[in-house]
Chains A and B, each alone.
Chain A
Amino acid sequence: MKSGSNLERILEGGQFAVTAEAGPPKGSSPKVIQRKGELLKLCCDALNVTDNQTAIVRMSSLSGCVLLKELGVEPVLQMVVRDRNRLALQGDILGAAALGIRNVLCLSGDHQRFGNHPAAKGVYDIDSIQFIQMVKTMRDEHRFLNGEEISGDVPFFIGAAANPFADPFEFRVTRLAKKVNAGADFIQTQGIFDVPKFVEWMKMVRDRGLHEKTHILAGLIPIKSVGMARYMRNNVSGLSVPQEIVDRMADAKDAKEEGVKICLETIEQLKEVEGIHGIHIMAVAWEDIVPRIVEEAGLMPRPVV
């Protein structure tokens, strides 16, 4: 075991994993994260705590992870290279290890221009792939980026993101291969609405044998309304929402029910795709729906490993 995390044990044990997102609040109350933790603890194997998501300042992901851990919920520490240089990243990795965090998701981060501090100086000292490699070296060789020795263990299950829907499409698998070669033990993908395109990408992934070198968790975003579907289609770069999904949401008598139905249908299709080892549900501002989705997708109870 690289980290001994619950997520690692489930995936290495060949079981289908379920993770979800628990975004921290724009405030200092621990209750928001605690509420999400209590809500999701029985239906997920680990919860991602986002890191200043969409470049909007929130409670730090590391503190959110500690709050979840206190509840007995396993966190996935999301870290973006937008806000920290190599010194801060490595320092936080050591701190997270000391606090018992065992999963990390290494990300570039949305550009600061999207957020609520668009005049901020972006850091981008290293990129997400170099970050994965750095954490792997810290874990496996007990060495910092500069080669100096680290005292103590740095046991992380290392995650990365993949977006099959961004351009250039053919290069997306090469980029995944680079992340896997850098040391990504698991992958959480961008939210999937365009299943045929995802299936095509997964075929390319299998052709390169990447599904055997990393655990791919398919990303899902439950849609609450037609407005949300349109917004994501028009405004979120790197997301592909087919017209059919927008139409279904527009025509539905009960949009929320239709959103759940779409999500469940997508999960059913994804379960059949060879190389998919789990799902990652990003129910932004709709966490309450996650237990129902996991239940109705037939993924309850979660395995105890």
Chain B
Amino acid sequence: MITLEQKKFEEIEKMTKGYSRLLVLGCETCSAMSFAGGQRQVEELASAIRMAQKTSGQEGEVLEDAIARQCEPEFVDLIRDKLAGCDAVLSLACGAGVQLLSERFPDKVILPGCNTTFLGVTEELGVWSERCAGCGNCILDKTAGLCPIARCSKQLLNGPCGGSMNGKCEISKDVDCVWQLIIDRLARLNRLEMLEEIFPVKDWSPAGHGGPRKMVREDLKS
């Protein structure tokens, strides 16, 4: 999933100041899974904004809604009518959702209520961690199913570096050294010899360094 965290309220309050009809718009997929911008968080945030407006003596209306996915045009278009009467939207989707709103509604102010954090997994309730860097060229078959691009602080392909201690990364005792995990897993699978070979340099162009990325599937296009 894409993980998100809601921005600090002070930042949201500052960016939403001065709009008379604000729509707080949730996204029911990744953002809801992250407890950052599903229906429930929309209600809580809208109430908080109303309260802040009242306290500061600001006149205004705060509307609420949530759609299944802000990254799909057909869902985004469902709120066209509701949006017509608003002067701004506070989107609780990821950056992709915020931008699709901007593209679909060129005359509206679209504001981001969340920070998009990473592609990751839920470790336990309330704890998420990064797993994928979306680099466009998966190498997990060569690294025991654990990703050094997303999880090594130096993105080493021939790790671990000299800072790996007691299974932890040199940057923090809270960060696992993914190369230790890779070695442990390969040892268990009896495949340690895989690490004798020098891993070649990576082509970073599919990782976004070749410019903004786009995918086209001719077979699906209408």
Contacts and interface: CB of A to CB of B under 8 A. Distances in A.
A182 B201 contact: no
Contact of B153 (A111, A175, A177, A182): A111
B117 interface: no
Nearest to A167: B164
Interface string B112-154: 0000000000000000000000000000000000000000011
Interface string A119-135: 00010111111100110
B197 to A, nearest CB: 8
Contacts of A178: 158, 196, 198
B33 to A, nearest CB: 29
Given A124-B154, A124-B156, A167-B180, A161 B198 contact: no
A61 interface: no
A174 B196 contact: yes
Interface in B162-179: 162-167, 170-171, 177
A108 B165 CA distance: 16
- Give the interface size class of chain A: 35 or more
B153 to A, nearest CB: 5
B160 interface: yes
A122 B152 CA distance: 12
Contacts of A128: 156, 158, 161
Contacts of B162: 108, 161-163, 166, 190, 237-238
Contacts of B170: 110-111, 114, 237-238
B183 A168 contact: yes
Looking at B153, B158, B160, B170, the one whose CB has the most chain A CB atoms below 10 A away is B158
Interface in A120-153: 122, 124-130, 133-134, 145
B71 interface: no
Given A113-B171, A171-B183, A237-B165, A177 B159 contact: no
Contacts of B184: 168
Interface residues of B, number: 29
Interface in A180-201: 181-182, 190
A245 to B, nearest CB: 18
A181 B158 CA distance: 13
Contacts of B167: 167
B201 A130 contact: yes
A277 interface: no
A82 interface: yes
A161 B162 CA distance: 9
A111 B156 contact: no
Nearest to A80: B154
A190 B154 CA distance: 19
A86 interface: yes
B200 A130 contact: yes
A86 B201 contact: yes
B83 interface: no
A238 B165 contact: yes
B201 A166 contact: no
Looking at B164, B167, B202, the one whose CB has the most chain A CB atoms below 10 A away is B164
B75 interface: no
B158 A130 contact: yes
Given A111-B170, A125-B204, A167 B165 contact: yes
Contacts of A162: 162
Contact of B163 (A86, A126, A174, A238): A238
Contacts of B183: 168, 171
A134 B162 CA distance: 21
A175 B155 CA distance: 16
Given A167-B177, A174-B196, A145 B156 contact: no
A161 B161 CA distance: 10
Given A174-B196, A178-B198, A181-B198, A167 B157 contact: no
- 6 smallest CB-CB distances across A and B, nearest first, come from A163-B162, A237-B170, A129-B158, A237-B163, A238-B162, A127-B156
13 contacts: A110-B170, A122-B153, A124-B156, A127-B157, A127-B158, A166-B160, A166-B161, A167-B164, A167-B166, A167-B167, A174-B196, A237-B162, A237-B164
Given A82-B154, A171-B195, A237-B163, 13 more contacts: A86-B201, A122-B153, A124-B156, A127-B157, A128-B158, A130-B200, A130-B201, A167-B160, A167-B165, A168-B164, A174-B195, A178-B196, A182-B198
